[in-house]
């Protein structure tokens, strides 16, 4: 095998008698280079985007969310608190109440989702501080209720949390209202002082406002009740074990969902987009591999005398096949390795310097996120190797098959 490999190396780097063969060989290597580079870059960018989306959704979605199986709310009891406190997997938990409400500030109105949270909420969602862009994270101080609004909500209301001279008014429909002819009879009304604004993405920035739980319970007539329990785990990898333990403890009247299950559709879309794009680029690489077939076919025609001479010296058909098979693999792998190296360097520059900016202004990152994974390099390398073997096998087999019919005539 060393002999066939050495001959293949010599054929690869030696000057060809026809310049067109050199050009086709360079085109073949370049096609594999750019194809491999594109595959690595696409996978790395999608990995980065997936991590970014997960980090953004972690602000609002806890490790485990518990909701009631029937109805919208449930009673917060001491027994339920004690049951949760006895579960070792839980690091912190918080009771929350979520409803749509009408917000009003300086004659500007906006309907958004108001989330009442207790004092433990920011222990469960412990990265919330990183998304505060104005003001301070305060919900209650000296019996004064404060509100933290999304930057999109603040813009629609014309509200600046750092210079809010007016209170933010919240309206909620009364459960006992029989007529909606007037605001006073149909709605509960209360006030909070704007304290801060957060920015994550448009999906959240224009939708959410945070207020104290007890304040929102009174406004919605849900005294001592919550709509969800948010849980932070000591070890996020033990989500399945924690769900089983919590379900056993609190009973079957509650539905438990992991962070993945809370956003199952989103994560499936991210994965499918990644692999659909990968498949399209892979198809392009497969089409590009036809250049290898053309380059090797022309090389076979050029090396007729060499093949005939090697056959006369005793080299078997299988050895002829291996020579051109190695030639095709070396040609592809050389391009693929350079492509991987370029993809690594470009990804590293994107991570450290930032080459391509992220469009829009809602994200907290200025450049496309990139995350390189060793498994992606291995997968792409294996796929390119398999494509190279298949592409090189056809002309190699043709060269061996033609030995008996044609090449030996050159010896005479």
Q: Is the same domain home to 45 and 84?
A: no
Question: How far is Cα 104 from Cα 100, in angstroms, rounded to an integer?
Answer: 13
Same domain, 398 and 281: yes
Residues 223 and 281 in one domain: no
**98 shares a domain with 200:** yes
- What does the pLDDT read at residue 118? 93
Assess whether 139 and 199 both reside in one domain.
Answer: yes
**Cα gap 14→18, rounded to integer Å:** 12
pLDDT digits (tens, 9 = 90+) for 278-299: 888 888 888 877 777 777 777 7
Query: 114 — phi, psi (to 5°)?
Result: -100, 130
The residue segments making up the domain with residue 81 are 64-262
User: Are both 258 and 273 inside the same structural domain?
Assistant: no
My answer on whether 106 and 85 are in the same domain is yes
Place of tokens 């690595």: 40
Q: How far apart are the C-alpha atoms of 82 and 311, rounded to whole Å? A: 85
Distances (CA, A) of 132 to 158, 250, 260, 325: 18, 35, 25, 59
289, 318: one domain? yes
Count of other CB atoms within 10 angstroms of residue 222: 22
Is residue 37 within 8 A of residue 343, CB to CB? The reply is yes
Q: What is the pLDDT of residue 408?
A: 53
213-265 pLDDT, tens digit per residue, is 999 999 998 999 999 999 999 998 888 999 999 999 998 899 999 888 887 77
Helix (H) or strand (E) run with residue 20 in it: helix 19-57
Reduced to 3 states (helix: H, G, I; strand: E, B; else coil), residue 80 is helix
pLDDT at 113: 93
In terms of DSSP H, where are the helices of 230-289?
Answer: 239-250, 259-262, 264-288
Per-residue confidence (pLDDT) for residue 407, from 0 to 100: 55
The pairing of strands 144-150 and 187-198 is parallel
Q: Looking at 213, 233, 262, which one is the last position of a domain?
A: 262
Look at residues 262, 294, 321 and tell me which one is the last residue of a structural domain: 262
Residues 270, 147 share a domain: no
Q: Are both 95 and 244 inside the same structural domain? A: yes
Distance between CA atoms of residues 312 and 320, nearest Å:
12
DSSP state of 168: E
Residue for token pair 């996978």: 43
Number of folded domains that form the chain: 2
In whole angstroms, give the CA distance from residue 103 to residue 210: 12
The low-confidence residues of the chain, meaning pLDDT below 50, are 361-362
**End-to-end Cα separation, the chain, in angstroms:** 29
Same domain, yes or no: 143 and 242: yes
Domain stops at, among 262, 287, 311: 262
Q: Are residues 282 and 353 in the same domain?
A: yes
Write out pLDDT tens, residues 339-386: 999 999 999 999 888 888 877 544 557 788 899 999 889 988 888 888
């Amino acid at each position: 095998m060393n002999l066939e490999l050495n001959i293949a190396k010599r054929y690869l780097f030696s000057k060809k008698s026809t310049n067109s063969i050199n050009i086709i060989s360079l085109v073949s290597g370049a096609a594999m280079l750019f194809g491999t580079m594109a595959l690595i870059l696409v996978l790395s960018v999608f990995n980065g985007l997936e991590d970014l989306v997960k980090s953004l959704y972690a602000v609002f979605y806890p490790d485990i969310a518990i909701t009631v199986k029937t109805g919208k709310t449930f009673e917060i009891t001491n027994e339920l608190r004690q049951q949760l406190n006895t579960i070792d997997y839980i690091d912190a938990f918080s009771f929350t109440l979520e409803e749509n409400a009408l917000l009003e500030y300086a004659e500007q109105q906006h309907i958004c989702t108001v989330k009442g949270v207790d004092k433990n909420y920011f222990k469960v969602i412990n990265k919330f501080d990183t998304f505060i862009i104005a003001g301070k994270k305060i919900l209650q101080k000296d019996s004064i209720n404060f509100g933290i609004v999304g930057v999109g909500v603040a813009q629609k209301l014309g509200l600046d949390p750092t210079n809010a001279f007016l209170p933010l008014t919240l309206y909620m429909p009364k459960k006992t209202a029989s007529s909606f002819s007037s605001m006073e009879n149909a709605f509960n009304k209360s006030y909070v002082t704007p304290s801060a604004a957060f920015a994550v993405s448009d999906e959240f920035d224009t939708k959410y406002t945070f207020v104290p739980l007890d304040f929102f319970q009174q406004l919605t007539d849900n005294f001592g009740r919550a709509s969800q329990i948010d849980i932070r785990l000591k070890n996020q990898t033990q989500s399945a074990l924690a769900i089983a333990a919590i379900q056993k403890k609190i009973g079957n009247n509650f539905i438990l969902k992991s962070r993945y299950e809370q956003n199952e559709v989103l994560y499936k879309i991210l994965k499918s987009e990644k692999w659909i794009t990968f498949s399209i680029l892979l198809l392009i690489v497969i089409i590009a591999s036809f250049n290898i077939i053309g380059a090797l076919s022309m090389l076979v025609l050029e090396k007729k005398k060499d093949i005939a001479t090697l056959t006369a010296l005793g080299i078997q058909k299988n050895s002829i096949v291996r020579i051109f098979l190695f030639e095709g693999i070396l040609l592809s792998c050389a391009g693929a390795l350079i492509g991987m190296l370029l993809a690594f360097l470009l990804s590293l520059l994107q991570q450290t310097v930032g080459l391509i900016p992220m469009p829009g202004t809602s994200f907290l990152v200025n450049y496309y996120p990139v995350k390189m994974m060793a498994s992606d390099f291995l997968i792409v390398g294996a796929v390119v190797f398999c494509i190279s073997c298949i592409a090189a096998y056809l002309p190699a087999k043709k060269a061996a098959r033609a030995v008996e019919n044609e090449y030996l005539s050159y010896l005479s």
